[in-house]
Structure 1
Amino acid sequence: MFHIKQLELVHWDYWRRFTLPLDAQIITIVGPNGSGKTTLLDALRTLFGLRCSGKRDFRRYVRRAHRSFAWIRAVVANRPGSTGKRPFFPCLKDEVTLACRIRRAGGDWTRDYAIADGDLPIEVLESQQDRAIEWVGYRDYQNRLAWGGLTPAIAKVLALEQGDTDKLCEYSPKALLELVFDVFGDKEVLDNYAAAREEQLNAEKELAALGLDLDRLRAQAEAKRLEADRFLEWKQLDDEARALAAEIVPRLEAAELVRDIARERADLARGRLERQHGADELAALQQRLATVEAEKADAEAERRAVRQHDLDAEAAHLTAHDAVRDHEKLLAERSALRTRLAREAGDAAVDLEAAYAKADAHLLHLQRQEREAIAAFEDKTQQLRATREHRGPPAEPEVARFRARLREAGIAHRALAEIVEVTDPGWQSAVEAVLRPYRHVLLLAREQDRHAAWSLGEAERFRHFIVPELEAAPPASAGSLAEVIRFADAVPRWLTDLLNRIQRVEDVDDARRLPRDAEWITRDGYHRERRGARHLGKPADFHFGELARTARLKQLDTDLHSLDARLRDLRPQVEAAEEEAAGLRARLHGIEAAQLLAARVDDYDRAEDALPDARARLTAAIAARSEAKGALESLGLRLEGIGIEVDRRKREIGAVTRKLKDLADNAAPRRHEQAQRLLRLRRLRHGMPADWRDPQQTALLAERYGDARGARAEHERLRTRLAEGDWITDDSVLTLAARLKTDLGQRERDYAEREAYCAATRRLTADARAAYIAKLRATVRQYGKNLRALGELANVDVDCPVPLLENDDRALAAAGLEVRFDFDRKGAVGLNDGEASGGQQVMKSLILLIALLMDEARPGGFVFIDEPFAHLDIANIDRVGSFLRATRAQYLITTPVTHNANVFAPAQLTLVTRKKKPGDDWAPPIGLIQRAV
């Protein structure tokens, strides 16, 4: 390969123009950081078509000069090699000029290259006095340099970055083997292998293309076959659709009309009978309802009479009770006066006063108890009258106040307890326990009043639900709690769902028959739900239904009897206390008992005579009142049963009436439809062939299509499928499918012939690969020889075994070059195994690099090395310098000024770079130090 003899730069970075002699083996470029060492090497890299260091490119350097052009010119050797061939043939002189012209064009920088025979200055090149000079582009110039020895593989080596001299030893064995063969490989052998390989690839591509064409033809033949099948399928579907529309649908419709007419005729007859039976049943139910209502009217009249008798008995009882009380009071007063006469008047005044105070306090206590009992008796009496006159639950003050507000606002509503009736008294307690949280729920009559009602509820802070969404109660589930409840009006859906969800069981053992997740309740109120089971408590008072009202009446009556008995007990005690207190008071004011006794002796005698008769009348009044109450309770229970029966009869009448109405409403349209069927049947049969009425053929059609609707659906499906499908309707597709089938057979025979030719190319490629492998082994042996020779110069043992190369592309792709180095007899180390020191890494890379340039056919060459001494000590610097002097290549080495002076020992020529001073337009020229020979 050629070496560099001279370099000239114009407008490169901050250099205006200078020329450097480079005709030396080892050239050292020294200067401080930033003085232009790498800039000089990048100029050479740009001239030789190499990539600049780092992220730099040639544009960075030419922009700094603030000029519209720049030149890089070098004079290189062009001496013949061992083969007699010059690197830059057809240039025949010993020196050749390489030039790079950089110009601004359209806002960007472009570069042109030229190779001229001899040493031509820039002015000659620019004036083009020599018409033999040809300016070429970047790619063509790289090809010319490759013929001169600067191959792409060497270009990779020359493009090593600053401080990356040791990177070559970090190549993988495979990458190193590829690099070695790129540098040393025999072009003809490689071309033969590449040509054979190319021929094989072309044959395989042609075979693949033919295969694709064959597959395409197969696909076309298959597509045409499918199109032919689609045509045949379309023909079949079209024929079937035409048959359905013209024959099958009318026949099935006629058969269905005959069946429907016969069935409807029978249904109409059954409907007439059903309406007649319903009318008879309605008359019977109305007759039974009239009987029950008459019985109810009689019972109500009897109850009014009994209630009046009860009131009379109560008044007689009170009158007799007052008479007995008055007589007993007079007789008690007489007894007290008699006792006072007999009592001695000499008792101590102090004891008499204390006894009087005690007696007066006891009297006040008894009078207070009597007033409380009288007030409770009057309250219970008022509640009894209100309960008798009003059906429904007792209202709490808060609920009554809120309902009054609703009525004032014109919002119609009802309480839930007013529409609930328990039909089985045995389950009253369980129903009350479940519905206890909903006693005071209010139901709106109009759903549109909901927002007004809710506004009032928010203002009053009403704690109970106001429900606007109501619906008729659905039928009760068998065995559920809803089965023992009757609703008089629409109710919330959630309430019926709750009651239908709860099953009635007699006890817990009876619940074993229910599913595991079922919800149930016993008569005693033991309730099981999803959260578990618990007792809901037995209600002290009932709120729902007529049974609750009856229970309240009984309880109020019991409370009145209890209060009356309590008053009967309290009144004698009060009277005795009054007498005691009066006697003590009389003793304190003097004894007047004899005078009082004498003054009322006639009253006392009449009271004594009348007392037995008064007591007899009281006893008779009590008995009469008890008898009236018993009769009243019996009539109440009887009326409850009659009321339940009346409601049941009315529901039955309503159900029968609705049924008759539905039957009557449905009869007229059905008769009209029957007439329409008859007309349609006549129209269908008009002009219909006789064989279309054959029942057996019609049965076969019905078995296939079901009915007329199924046939119409099938016809519609076929028409839709025919309309939406991508069908072939041209019968010429059958002929085309047969022709493509014939062409496919001929193409398959052609493919077999090309496949045989492709097998022959594979054999030729294998032979060429064998020759390539032989040349590759020779190249590796030559490179190993060069490595060992350089190792002897560097006093390093180098081992480079020939890799295992087989006649197989995959084996060649996996092959690599393993190189081992033994420094100072400390053991062999590989390319990049981490065992070598920094200086040893540099030595390894230099040996690997220079061995690439030791080609006997193309000796010499040049190498750019940025700071090779960066990781070396003084001894290794001398060692590397001696090694570089022992080789024949040309080296351009950069080094900072901080290194040891020994780095200049091997250099025949030293270039000294200096920084541009602030304020100067151009940097100082590069200094030269040449070693004297």
Structure 2
Amino acid sequence: MFHIKQLELVHWDYWRRFNLPLDAQIITIVGPNGSGKTTLLDALRTLFGLRCSGKRDFRRYVRRANRSFAWIRAVVANRPGSTGKRPFFPCLKDEVTLACRIRRAGGDWTRDYAIADGDLPIEALEANTDKAVEWVGYRDYQSRLAWGGLTPAIAKVLALEQGDTDKLCEYSPKALLELVFDVFGDKEVLDNYALAREEQINAERELDALGLDLDRLRAQAEAKRLEADRFLEWKQLDDEARALAAEIVPRLEATELARDIGHARSDIARDRDDLQKCSLELIDLQKRMADVEAEKAAAEAERKAARSADLEAEKDHLVAHDAVRDAEKLLAERSALRTRLAREAGDAAVDLEAAYAKADARLLHLQRQEREAVAAFEEKAAQFRATRDTHGSPGDPEVSRFRARLKEAGIAHRALSEIVEVTDAGWQGAVEAVLRPYRHVLLLAREQDRHAAWALGERERFRHFIVPELEPAPPANRGALAEVIRFADAVPRWLADLLNRIQRVEDADAARSLPRETEWITRDGYHRERRGARHLGKPAEFHFGELARKARLKQCEADMQRIDARLQQLRPQLDAAKEDADALRARLHGIEAAQLLAARADAFDAAEAALPAAKARLTAAIAARADAKGRVDAVDQRLRGIDIELDRRKREAAGLGRRLKELTDAAAPRRTEQARRILRLRRLRRGMPADWRDPQQNALLADRYGDARGARAELERLRQRLTDGDWVTDDTVLTLAGRLKADVTERETQYQERERHCTAARHITTEARAAYIAKLRATVRQYGKNLRALGELANVDVDCPVPHLENDDRALSAAGLEVRFDFDRKGAVGLNDGEASGGQQVMKSLILLIALLMDEARPGGFVFIDEPFAHLDIANIDRVGSFLRATRAQYLITTPVTHNANVFAPAQLTLVTRKKKPGDDWAPPIGLIQRAL
């Protein structure tokens, strides 16, 4: 690279105009702070198209001169290098003038550059009479300087800030490697690698875009394919719907009408026979009902007479009973007085008091038993009256409480026991045994109340069934248990099925003739079902029907008689105990028994005489009452049987009447419907093709669609599906789908071609990267050679191994240049490991810096170094000076005036700057000290 021989400044900062010779290897610029050392270097930087130091630029300096123009001119060497080429070819002289002209234009400063062959003064450049000098812009000028050796990388090195010369050693290995390659590397190799990599990235980006476009096109093709499928599906459904409406439904309707007409003919004939049979049965049943009603009237008259006789016998019994009781009471009083009289003069007072206490305790015990018996009698009497005045089963506290809850909730219901009536007293026990688990089943009047009732039952933990589904009871099977039961209202279907399933037999031997799987029950409650046979047990208390109520009445009467008999036994004992207690109490107050006997002797004698006759009358009254009650019971039993028979025949007559009415009501509509079917079949078959009547084909259609209703439902379903569905009805979608499929195939071919191109681009990038790596290795080796040569000059061992480089972008981006220095054989140190001293840091940075400027093809060059001796002692200053003298570069070094004089030892030329004095327009010119050779 070239070196500087002369510098001339005009209107730069506070310098008016001066010309400095710079034809020396080491030039020292010395002066106090603010005297213009950095200003002089910034002038050179501006001339060479470099960035000024800090935040300064050329405008700052030219504004201070307060002139409209400024000049910077330098004369540089243009000698041929080792290759024989001159740096500023086609300039052929050994010297070349570099000029920067700065002028004010429109309020801003502009600069122009020129490169002239030879040493031309500023006036000649300004005149340019022969047009030999060409003024160019900043970019073109930088390109010319780069051709002359001032590359952008060297320009970056030359633009180091003041005091930054020791900071090259602070570069990271990766940054140092990049800087070295920028300086030494072959620009074409780097450009080829960058171009290939860019081409690869573009190819991959284009391939990705083409892939996205292909995916989009595939999605469009798939969407159109789905639309085509929807069109084909719609076409299939539409064709099927048309076939159903035009052919299949009429054919199935005609087939069904023909079949229904045949079935209706047989049904009409059968109904006619059933109508005649029912009429005859109803007439016969009405005759039998008249006979039963006459028998009932006679039995009711007989019962009335028997009841009258029973009432008379009851009155006689009460009168005889009262007479016997009164006589026995008087005789008992006499006996008590006699006993009292016998004791009047006997026992001591203490024994008399103990006897009285014992007699009083017994009296209290008998009185309590009497009260309990009276309360029980009244309770049974109340039950008797309640059972006599009301119908239904005995109440259960839990069921009554829950029914009250249902009533409060407004849920109408009935108990199962309220609608069941047993018509045959002989089977009452068997019915009660079968229905025992269902005594408290509740039947809802409205089915819609079921959820509310179930919720209430869940809350109350009600253990019995709540049934909402009810229906009229079907006719009872002959011989079934349901035949002896009448239902007053609708019942659960499962209950009717249960009672119709159980057959009635007299005993287990009578069941031998029944089929094996038949379920049966005896009068005694022995039940056979699918699990086996067992005795259900006769309930002690009946719940279902009028017979159960009468049985409860009879039981209440028996209980009342038993309690009355108990009272009859207690009362004499109570009277005796009272007499004993009274007698003992009287003895305690004085003896009066003899007086009482004398006063009532006549009454006692009359009672004794009348007692046998009264007992005879009581016995006869009891016998007469028993006979009368037996006659009443016999008549009642016969009436119950007559009622059951009459009720059964009434139900049979009602059933026959309903059946007769149903047959009569259904006959005319059926004939009308039959005529309508025949007319409709004729209309359907009118104009119908002959093959539509083919039975085999119609059977296949029936297998597929079921019947005409199924075909119409399928037609409606298809029409609804066609109406509701999002269908494609345009057949052009088939063409579009085919065209998009072809486009996808073509685009896939293009994608494969671009993929091959991308593969080729990757291969080219790999080769360019390999070339770049080879050049990088050569550059590092050259730089390491320069470092080792400079290290020998500075008496420092420098090691710069070639970094590990792989043919991979990621490995290249992570590669770095590790440089290690060994000062005074104290051990190697790295770039910025903190172990080197300040002087060693400067030495490391100078070695790294100067090695960048060493080029065997273009030796020489110049370097700007701001204050390299700032932190060095005298020994290190001499060492750095010796190192600078040993190199071949041109150095422009700034140093403050406070340094040791040894800093001037290596300098061949010293420039002395001085500050501008206050009041002067211009700064003093730069002093010059040149060492004599």
What range describes the TM-score normalised by the shorter chain of this pair?
0.5 to 0.7
After superposition, the C-alpha distances for 1:334-360 in whole angstroms (9 at most, x for unaligned) are 322332343343544565456445534
Could you tell me which residue of structure 1 aligns to residue 679 of structure 2? Answer: 675
Q: Is the 8 A contact 2:853 2:861 kept in 1?
A: yes
Counterpart selection for 2:432 from 404, 421, 425? 425
CA RMSD of the aligned region, Å?
A: 8.3
Question: Is the aligned partner of 1:620 residue 2:623?
Answer: yes
Tell me, in whole angstroms, the C-alpha distance in 1 between the residues paired with 2:471 and 2:315. 50
| Corresponding residue of 2:818 | 819
CA 889–659 in structure 1, closer or farther in 2 if over 3 Å, else same: farther
Which residue of structure 2 aligns with residue 600 of structure 1?
603
Asked if structure 1 preserves the Cα contact closer than 8 Å seen for 2:790 and 2:847, the reply is yes
| Equivalent AA in structure 2 for residue 383 of structure 1 | Q
The verdict on how the C-alpha distance between 1:608 and 1:678 changes in structure 2, with shifts beyond 3 A counting, is same
Letter of the 2:574 counterpart: V
Aligned residues: 785
CA distance 1:470–1:737, change in 2 (3 Å): closer
Q: CA deviation digits over 1:67-117, x for unaligned, max 9?
A: xxxx99999997669664369999x9665659899999xxxxx99987677
Separation in structure 1 between the aligned mates of residue 310 and residue 53 of structure 2, nearest angstrom: 129
Matched, 1:85 2:94: no
CA separation in 2, counterparts of 1:788 and 1:394? 126
In structure 2, the CA distance between the partners of 1:421 and 1:696, relative to structure 1 (3 Å rule), is: closer
Instruction: Render the CA deviation track for 1:834-881: whole Å, top value 9, x for unaligned.
Output: 897998999988866765455564866779999999xx9999999998
Describe how 1:430-829 pairs up with structure 2 within 5 A.
430-431=437-438, 471-473=468-470, 556=556, 559-560=559-560, 563-587=563-587, 588-591=589-592, 592-614=595-617, 616-617=619-620, 620=623, 672=676, 675-682=679-686, 684-685=687-688, 709=711, 723-727=729-733, 772-789=772-789, 797-803=797-803, 813=812, 816-817=815-816, 819=818, 821=820
Residue pair 1:183, 1:852 contacting (<8 A) in 2 also: yes
Give a deviation string over 1:167-195, Cα, whole Å, max 9, x none: 965455xx765553333211234445667
| 1:386 is aligned to 2:386 | yes
Closer/same/farther in 2, CA of residues 672 and 594 from structure 1, 3 Å limit: same
The AA in structure 1 aligned to 2:186 is: D
The letter of the residue matching 1:612 is: K
Find the aligned partners of 2:904 and 2:618 in 1 and give their Cα distance: 156
Checking the alignment, whether the CA contact within 8 Å between 2:797 and 2:821 is kept in structure 1 is yes
Does 2:259 correspond to 1:260?
no
Answer whether contact 1:74 1:97 (CA < 8 A) is retained: yes
Identity level (%) = 39
The one-letter amino acid paired with 2:339 is: T
Distance 2:681 2:802 in 1: 103
Residues 796, 823 of structure 1: 8 Å contact kept: yes
Q: Residue type matched to 1:801 in 2?
A: P
Does 2:332 match 1:332? yes
Instruction: Give the Cα separation in 2 of the matches to 1:880 and 1:75.
Output: 34
- CA-to-aligned-CA distance 1:518-572 (integer Å, 9 cap, x gap): xxxxx9xxxxxxxxxxxxxx99999888898678657755654553354234223
Question: Contact between 2:282 and 2:657, CA under 8 Å: does it hold in 1?
Answer: no
The residue identity in structure 2 corresponding to 1:608 is L
- When residues 595 and 183 of structure 1 are mapped into structure 2, their CA distance, relative to the original with a 3 A threshold, is farther
Residues 366 and 817 of structure 1: is their aligned pair in 2 closer, same or farther, counting only changes over 3 Å? same
Q: Cα distance, 1:373 vs. partner?
A: 2.4
* Residues 784 and 801 in structure 2, CA contact (< 8 A), matched pair in contact too: yes
Q: Residue 151 of structure 1 corresponds to which residue in structure 2?
A: 152
Relative to structure 1, the CA distance from residue 237 to residue 646 in structure 2 (aligned partners, 3 Å threshold; closer, same or farther) is same
Match of 2:268 in 1: 272
Alignment of 1:34-73 (within 5 A): none
- Structure 1 contact 76–97 (Cα < 8 Å) conserved: no
1:180 aligns with 2:186: no
Going from structure 1 to structure 2, the CA distance change for 1:891 and 1:418 (only over 3 Å counts) comes to farther
Q: Residue deviations 1:787-806, cap 9 Å, x none?
A: 43465577765433335667
* In structure 1, distance between residues paired with 2:867 and 2:487: 106
Cα offset for 1:303? 13
Please tell me whether the aligned partners of residues 327 and 610 of structure 2 are also in contact (alpha carbons under 8 angstroms): yes
Please give the TM-score of this superposition, normalised by the length of structure 1: 0.56
Write the mapping of 1:397-408 to structure 2, written as runs, cut at 5 A: none
- 2:363 corresponds to which residue? 363
1:337–1:594 CA contact under 8 A, matched in 2: yes
Q: Which moved more, 1:721-730 or 1:377-386?
A: 721-730
Aligned amino acid, residue 819 of structure 1: E
1:391 deviates by 2.3
Structure 1 letter corresponding to 2:255: R
1:239-274 Cα deviation digits (max 9, x unpaired): x99998999975555643442232121232244256
Deviation at 1:600, TM superposition (A): 0.8
Q: State whether residues 393 and 543 of structure 2, in contact with CA within 8 Å, keep that contact through their aligned partners in structure 1.
A: yes
**Alignment deviations for residues 436-460 of structure 1 (CA, whole Å, 9 cap, x no partner):** xxx8x89687989999x9xxx9xxx
Give distance in 2, aligned partners of 1:572 and 1:305: 38
Question: Are the aligned partners of 2:433 and 2:539 in contact in 1 as well (CA < 8 Å)?
Answer: no
Q: Which one-letter code corresponds to 2:383 in the other structure? A: Q
Q: Which runs of 5+ in 1 are unaligned?
A: 12-20, 32-36, 66-70, 105-109, 125-130, 477-482, 500-522, 524-537, 896-901, 913-924
Aligned counterparts of 1:180 and 1:252: Cα–Cα separation in 2: 92
Distance 2:757 2:694 in 1: 72
Instruction: Provide closer, same or farther for how the CA distance between residues 692 and 573 of structure 1 changes in structure 2, counting only shifts above 3 A.
Output: closer
Q: Specify the SS of the correspondent of 2:802.
A: coil
CA distance in 1, matches of 2:98, 2:153: 23
Q: What SS is found at the alignment partner of 2:729?
A: helix
CA contact (8 A) 2:881 2:903 kept: no
Q: Distance in 2 between matches of 1:929 and 1:626?
A: 168
Contact 1:30 1:910 in 2 (8 A): no
Cα contact 2:279–2:660 (8 A) shared by 1: no
Distance 1:303 1:27 in 2: 162
C-alpha separation in 2, matches of 1:829 and 1:655:
124
Deviations 1:106-159 (A, max 9, x none): xxxx99987677999xxx9xxxxxx987777xx999989977856379869989
Alignment-mate amino acid for residue 781 of structure 1: R
* Structure 2: unaligned runs, 5 residues or longer: 14-19, 64-68, 127-132, 422-429, 474-480, 499-524, 526-537, 897-901, 915-922
Cα gap change, 1:811 to 1:371, in 2 (>3 Å): closer
Over 3 Å counting, the alpha-carbon distance change for 1:404 and 1:94 in structure 2 is same
Indicate conservation of the 8 Å contact 1:8/1:72, yes or no. yes
Distance 1:713 1:906 in 2: 112
Q: Closer, same or farther in 2 for the Cα pair 1:7/1:275, shift >3 Å?
A: farther
Larger Rg: 2
In the superposition, the TM-score normalised over structure 2's length comes to 0.56
Change (3 A) 1:755 1:627: closer
- The aligned counterpart of 2:517 is none
**What is the rounded CA distance, in whole Å, between the counterparts of 1:157 and 1:287 in structure 2?**
140
Amino acid at match of 1:472: E
8 Å Cα contact 1:189-1:771 kept in structure 2: yes
* Residues 692 and 94 of structure 1: CA distance in aligned 2, closer, same or farther (over 3 Å): same
